Structure 1
């Protein structure tokens, strides 16, 4: 993907904001990348891949562990399966597609693909057992079991893994070569700074796209966002059907009793009605979409402003007393402040 460069200082406040966050979390390096009006206007890197004084500097091809940001790639794969007819409807019951031995059928009654994509399925896994927290569609909870079910459904219906779909339909056509799931470390991957024995840290040698071992360079992640901003049309070519992108990034959440709960597209967080628990800043306009990872890596797309912004860190989790939701909202709000100056 080719995007013109026209670096300027319009978003210096955003760089300052990301630098401030990088000092507050436990990381050794960070970056920020902004595309505005079809030009790369901000690109900054600082620090090193680890706390080792001789570690590789953070640079253009550095790949950050994106944690839950990977879910927007999984959402793309599900949208692909729906758009291509492998899944008949987003409102199909999960039991239509899920292998009988994965979760007890009795637990899945009334649960649809839409519920899985919008974190409203109500399932939770603890100590290897799956149980129901609430009836599907009645509440919102961020649980990994929904992602596991979705990736299995993609594989069973399409005959391809999430990683294979992403590579064939997006990464290869867009020439995004700094994106992938890695079973082994290499020099371009950052070391993830984390507490010893952190229960949230899960590594894997699998590369199917169903595990939390995805690394992406800041520039690749920004271009992935730009691909969505442009509805799949880049460099004079419709790479993927615009209907697929629209499905993935538009509001798919059903109405909930608690209006302060977040709203989602296909795993993306989508700005719609004001909600206290949203991760998107108050100043960010409606129909914007964003995804945030446990490492603090964030991708924000603001269609009404023709803008994509990425920030990346190699931290894992937040220090005690750090309000990560307030911090990521500030990232988006600072961008909007720069736009109206």
Structure 2
């Protein structure tokens, strides 16, 4: 994917803001990458891959552990399956596509509920149970992601990774995106507490596990592909319908209107909601995905903008308000745009 470069200082305040955040979290390096009006306007790297004295500097081909940002790729795989007719409707129940899963707790839960974190399922002590009735509340739980990846494989015959590689990475020559069973020199060290219960790794490369690494520039191009609804370099590479599905509001009507709103796992900006991760100044129609590593991808269609920030931390230090921090990222971008 070719994007013209035209560096300017319009977003220097964003870089300063991310530098400040990088000092507050436990990381050794970071990056900011912004595409505005179809041009790369900001590309900054600093620090090193780890805290080791001889660690590799953070640079253009550095790949960051993206944590939950990987869910935007899973969301695309589901949108692909819907667009191709493998999934008839996201309002179909899980058990229609996974008939061998007939547990009582799954009855009545739809693909829409999984995509929007409104399924109500939770795993505790190895057992599955209902935290709340499907469509009545919102909770960020990994079991929904596991079920979505199973549905993708069951309906298309391909893993999430295979769909992404065949339809996005190879055609667009995005070589700095992948799921890794083994580490290599281009992957950052993930700085974390040794006993962090949220840390999980895997040797699987099927796209369903938390071992995805992406460079800041590849992640920005992934966002740009969504911004342009699949039309890049003068060609409709992928059906625009898949991107419309993935990035538009899909959440069921909830009793609590302050809860986050989602597309196909993306967080989307629609009605004002106090619990959203998207900044107050960011306009309606924008969408964002945030990982536990602080890696963030924000797309603002109204201003033809894609912004990425990337750290190599995992989790937040005590007293650090990660939601306020990521909202500030979006609001700082808007301040630069509006000024």
TM-score range, shorter chain: over 0.9
CA distance in 1, matches of 2:133, 2:237: 38
CA distance in 2, matches of 1:267, 1:126: 23
CA distance in 2, matches of 1:208, 1:127: 26
Aligned equivalent of 2:240, options 225, 242, 264: 242
Q: Which residue of 2 aligns with 1:172?
A: 170
Structure 1 residues 202 and 99, CA, compared in 2 at 3 Å: closer, same or farther?
farther
Q: Which residue of 1 aligns with 2:293?
A: 295
Is 1:315 the counterpart of 2:313 in the alignment? Answer: yes
Cα deviation, residue 131, structure 1: 0.4
- C-alpha contact (below 8 Å) 1:75/1:268 kept by paired residues: yes
Q: Which residue of 2 aligns with 1:87?
A: 87
TM-score scaled by length of structure 1: 0.99
TM-score scaled by length of structure 2: 0.99
Q: Which residue of 2 aligns with 1:31?
A: 31
Aligned equivalent of 1:252, options 235, 244, 250: 250
SS of residue in 2 equivalent to 1:30: strand
Q: What 5-or-longer segments of structure 2 have no aligned partner? A: none
> What per-residue deviation string (whole Å, max 9, x for no partner) do you get for residues 256-288 of structure 1?
000000000000000001111100000000010
Q: Which residue of 2 aligns with 1:214?
A: 212
Cα deviation, residue 197, structure 1: 1.9
SS of residue in 1 equivalent to 2:275: coil
SS of residue in 2 equivalent to 1:215: strand
- Aligned ranges for residues 1-341 of structure 1 at < 5 Å? 1-101=1-101, 104-341=102-339
SS of residue in 1 equivalent to 2:253: coil
The structure 1 segments of at least 4 consecutive aligned residues displaced by more than 2 Å after TM superposition are: none
Cα deviation, residue 105, structure 1: 2.6
Cα deviation, residue 53, structure 1: 1.2
> What per-residue deviation string (whole Å, max 9, x for no partner) do you get for residues 176-226 of structure 1?
000010000000000000001211110100000000000000000000000
- C-alpha contact (below 8 Å) 1:280/1:290 kept by paired residues: yes
Task: Provide the aligned length of Structure 1 versus Structure 2.
Answer: 339
CA distance in 2, matches of 1:250, 1:75: 12
SS of residue in 2 equivalent to 1:301: strand
CA distance in 1, matches of 2:211, 2:186: 14
CA distance in 1, matches of 2:77, 2:286: 20
CA distance in 1, matches of 2:81, 2:225: 18
- C-alpha contact (below 8 Å) 1:95/1:105 kept by paired residues: no
